[in-house]
Structure 1
Amino acid sequence: MVQSSKKYKNLCLKLYNDIFLKCPVKKKRVLFESFLGRNVSGNPKYVYNYFVEQGLDKKYELIWILNNTEDEVIGRAKKVKRKTLKYYYYMATAGYWVFNARQADEIIKRPEVSYLQTWHGTPYKTLGNDMFNASMPGVKDVNDYKEKFYRNSRRWDYLIAQNNYSAEIFKRAFSFDKVMLPYGYPANDILYKGNNEKYINELKDKFNLPKDKKVVMYAPTWREDNFYRKGHYKMTMELELDKMMKALGDEYILILRMHYLIANTINVSDYAGFVYDLSQGCDIQELYLVSDVMITDYSSTMFDYANLRRPMVFFAYDLDKYTNDLRGAYFSLPEVAPGPVVKTTEAVIESLEDISKVKEEYREKEEAFYNKFCHLDDGYAAKRVYETVFK
């Protein structure tokens, strides 16, 4: 029977509900999933890595849920393809879930299961109950979206926050009243433990990046009103790569890292040797480490990258639309950002041409930003999470 067929899915759900949910829960069985099986990344990856580093993969049965089971996983974990019969069996019988995104309504959390929701970023854009608009495909209106979000978050037992700012927003936006873990993000542990020349050079070799030029990464977020269908969004490249290459190509290379929800690829064949599209199959934490500067917009990457205290440029070409019409924001980006907020490629180039001057101009804002959003990140978040949830 074809795994993608409706008949196969119906069979899986029948066995899940009639048999698997009646099987005993295995308290030493831990499921990990990142972005609904798209890859091995984010906070679940770094909680899992802590298990492996401490030899706990010999004590626990660790399982990664993936869309592609060819994805590389260190340690002794089993790999299970999402939405298959094995997937439903393990979802029904694991004692722990470690996920960073919401789950489908068809999945039932049993009382014996401990659900660690790691989430995937400090919020700039409004979330859950705080949203005034929802333009995503498959969502009837903002109240429908909020209701679905509310039902989903009832399952969570633990929720990780990168900072106290996030913890307060999450409680309200997710109506979360269980165990908040304001511990910093496990995914950011590597930004402290791996921020050294030897490891960064190893990463540049891994990604085939030159070592004689500075690296700037462009990591924008997605626009929920620009989509193909539910879960598959379009990216319109507003940053003019030809101008970037002409002005900066002697000194810089440019890494593109599109949001995981972006379905289309950007053709960079005309910019060989300058533009490197590392949107697929690369850990963004490792890309932070190799980047001397980051260009972003409203993405939560700003809060992670700030741990490195390196300069940022905010290419917010649609700032008014994004904050006033599309999604809403928790603070004024021009007032808080630890770098220039600009709307044109020319302004991005101008900032990069004298980035040391930019860093000095924004030194006080950078310090305030770090103190507010990175005060809990210190390289030991995964350890704190393990000792609270699993011990």
Structure 2
Amino acid sequence: MKFLCQFTAVEDNRIVILNGAGRSGSNGYVFYKYLQVNHPEFNVSLIEPWPSSHLKWESWQKIGSARYVITTHQPFKVKKGQINLQFWHGVPLKRMGIMANNTRYRDNKRNEKLWHKNADIVASNSDLYESLMSACIAIEGKKYRKMGFPRLDALNNPVISKEELLKDLFDTEDSQAQIGIYMPTFRYELEDKSVMEKIKSGNFFAFNDFNGEELNAALKARHQYLIVKLHPYEMRMFENFDSHYSNIAFLNNDYLFDHNYDLYELLGDTDFLMTDFSSIYFDYLHLNKPIIFITNYLKQYEKVRGLLMGPYEEITPGICINSQEELLGNLDELDNRQIHNRRLYWLDLTNQVKGNNYCEQAFNAMTQNN
């Protein structure tokens, strides 16, 4: 199919978005929604999941006829005349490619060749981002364009109100509510069965001292509500998917797909973020709200995969906690002036593209590349 679509004539007004990022901060999906509303003169198609070995011939025809091919993971195109705009799906904090401790030389060299051959424009938001990405995948500097990332447009424009989100996920009303969201990274790669067993049993933090009832009671006493958004792999193995807690709710992809939401279109309604080594925290800095960093598997991650920057406590502008006891001890004061200033420092370092029209900047960079 891929070979046959090379013979399809290219249409200058056709854009195809190969979305491998689902609905969890997908530049591709947010850009797709933007194009539909703001540039009806273009014929835009969203193809997901990507990559897929089961695409219909119709989808391959769309890929083959597109002048612009947009990707969120590996760059891809089938013809020299096509322009590939590479969004990627996060500012890297964990090592990947040639920098990672758990990758193979042959795979890394193949990926480098793909980027050299297929990526025409690589979206960027800072010199730091370009340095981190090139360290991992050896991207040539001339490919970068500082345009920001479409997903950032969604942060300050929630598609529903905080009250609606509270009603949807917690079935309650609370004028004093503080909504937090917990988004850990992919912990399966730690290859630690004990971590997976804890998660499977309902211990989504994988704390040694986890107590769901105690955590829920502490949140309830403070009018705090916690949304748990696990990696899809972890969510599939989670036994207690339907929360019986009043102040803890699990957000799955079904909710996002059923409502045509991307997660970033809801993040603006939250009051704080909890994460471990996920690059989401770089994006959350745009909201200038508290971030809690979970460090109970920091040493294992540094050994198995590695981090691109460190020491960890110096690059994370927020409270670092290692256990539920420490978490509960910090719920009353998630922020202070020192942490606030550190967030602003890291925002300036990781984002040199100002404004809130990242989708439009991406569109201009793409269409003016001819």
TM over 0.5: yes
2:60 paired residue number: 88
**3-state SS in 1 of match to 2:268:** helix
Deviation at 1:194, TM superposition (A): 4.4
- 1:30 and 1:227, CA in 2 relative to 1: closer, same or farther beyond 3 A? farther
Task: Identify which of 207, 227, 230 aligns with 1:258.
Answer: 230
SS at match of 1:287: helix
Q: Does 2:153 correspond to 1:176?
A: no
| Structure 1 residue 101 displacement after superposition | 1.1
Partner of 1:242: 213
Partner of 1:110 in structure 2?
A: 79
Deviation at 1:156, TM superposition (A): 0.8
1:343 aligns with 2:325: no
Structure 1 residue 379 corresponds to structure 2 residue 356: yes
Tell me what 1:364 maps to.
341
Does the CA contact (< 8 Å) of 2:317 and 2:343 recur in 1?
yes
Q: CA deviation at 1:382?
A: 1.0
Which digits, 9 at most, give the CA deviation of each residue in 1:159-186, with x for residues without a partner? 1123321022223322222421222211
Post-superposition CA distance 1:290-333 (Å, at most 9, x none)? 21111100001101111111001101111111113333332322
Alignment counterpart, residue 249 of structure 2, candidates 276, 289, 314: 276
CA 1:20–1:270 in structure 2 vs 1: closer, same or farther (change >3 Å)? Answer: closer
What do you get for the CA RMSD once the two structures are aligned? Answer: 2.9
Give how far 1:348 is off: 1.4
How far apart in 1 are the matches of 2:274 and 2:345?
Answer: 19
Output aligned runs, 1:120-269, within 5 Å. Answer: 120-134=89-103, 142-154=104-116, 155-177=118-140, 178-194=142-158, 199-205=161-167, 207=169, 210-212=172-174, 213-225=177-189, 236=199, 237=204, 238-239=206-207, 240=210, 241-250=212-221, 251-262=223-234, 263-265=236-238, 267-269=240-242
Q: Distance in 2 between matches of 1:170 and 1:269?
A: 38
Output the amino acid matched with 1:123: P
Normalising by structure 2, we get a TM-score of 0.83
What is aligned with 1:9? none
Provide, for residues 29-56 of structure 1, a one-character-per-residue CA deviation record: whole Å limited to 9, x for no partner: 11113216x45951112222322232x1
Secondary structure at the counterpart of residue 253 of structure 2:
coil
Q: CA separation in 2, counterparts of 1:164 and 1:158?
A: 15
Post-superposition CA distance 1:123-160 (Å, at most 9, x none): 111122222323xxxxxxx2133123213313111111
- Which residue does the alignment assign to 2:30? 46
Stretches of structure 1 that go unaligned for 5 or more consecutive residues are 1-12, 69-79, 135-141
Contact 1:39 1:66 (C-alpha < 8 Å) held by counterparts: no
Q: Deviation digits for residues 51-77 of structure 1, max 9, x if unmatched?
A: 2232x12x1111111249xxxxxxxxx
User: Contact between 2:25 and 2:89, CA under 8 Å: does it hold in 1?
Assistant: no
Give the TM-score, by structure 1 length: 0.79
Unaligned runs of 5+ in 2: 257-261
Task: Name which of structure 1's ranges 264-273 and 212-221 shifts more when overlaid on structure 2.
Answer: 264-273
| Distance in 2 of aligned mates of 1:118 and 1:181 | 10
The answer on 1:61 being equivalent to 2:43 is: yes
Query: Which amino acid counterpart does residue 160 of structure 1 have in structure 2?
Result: A
Asked whether the 8 Å contact 1:293–1:312 carries over to 2, the reply is yes
8 Å contact from structure 2 (residues 16, 44) kept in 1: yes
Letter of the 2:11 partner, please give it: K
Contact 1:192 1:378 in 2 (8 A): no
The farther-off stretch of 19-28 and 378-387 is 19-28
Determine helix, strand or coil for the equivalent of 2:237.
Answer: coil
Sequence identity percentage: 17
Task: Pick one of 310, 313, 316 that aligns with 1:334.
Answer: 313
Q: Is the 8 A contact 2:182 2:228 kept in 1?
A: yes
Moved more, 213-222 or 233-242: 233-242
Separation of aligned partners in 1, 2:24 and 2:286: 22
CA contact 1:132–1:328 (8 Å) conserved in 2: no
* Residue 324 (1) aligns with residue 307 (2): no
8 Å Cα contact 2:126-2:349 kept in structure 1: yes
Q: 1:87 to 1:226 in 2, by over 3 A?
A: farther
CA distance in 2, matches of 1:108, 1:67: 16
Letter in 2 for 1:118: F
Change (3 A) 1:243 1:206: closer
Structure-2 separation of matches of 1:234 and 1:112: 49
Residues 30 and 208 from structure 1, CA distance in 2 versus in 1: closer, same or farther, beyond 3 angstroms? farther
